[in-house]
Amino acid sequence: MTLDSINAEIGKRVRSRRREIGITQAVLAQSLAVTFQQVHKYERGQSAISAAQLSAIASALCAPIDYFYDSLAPERDEA
């Protein structure tokens, strides 16, 4: 998996969770002290999200950090 595809996948999870709890990009941006355009870039995978910023996003979206990585975990054999 490339860094770009990882950024895109984490961004999809941010967008999904934001929509799930019913807040706008502007509301999330305000809680993160960034512009809504920056949130848009995060969600599209156009900007990488730092560990500190992901922690703030997780807090704002009431989700554990691992929620954003769940889809990136490799499949495990149950042998």
Least confident of 16-20, 23-27, 43-47, 69-73: 69-73
Stated pTM of the model: 0.87
Alpha helices by DSSP H, listed for the chain, are 3-21, 25-32, 36-44, 51-60
pLDDT (tens digit, 9 = 90+) per residue, 25-68?
999 999 999 999 999 999 999 999 999 999 999 999 999 999 99
Cβ count near 38 (within 10 Å): 18
Q: Can you name the CATH fold of 3-69?
A: 434 Repressor (Amino-terminal Domain) (1.10.260)
Domains of the chain, residue spans: 3-69
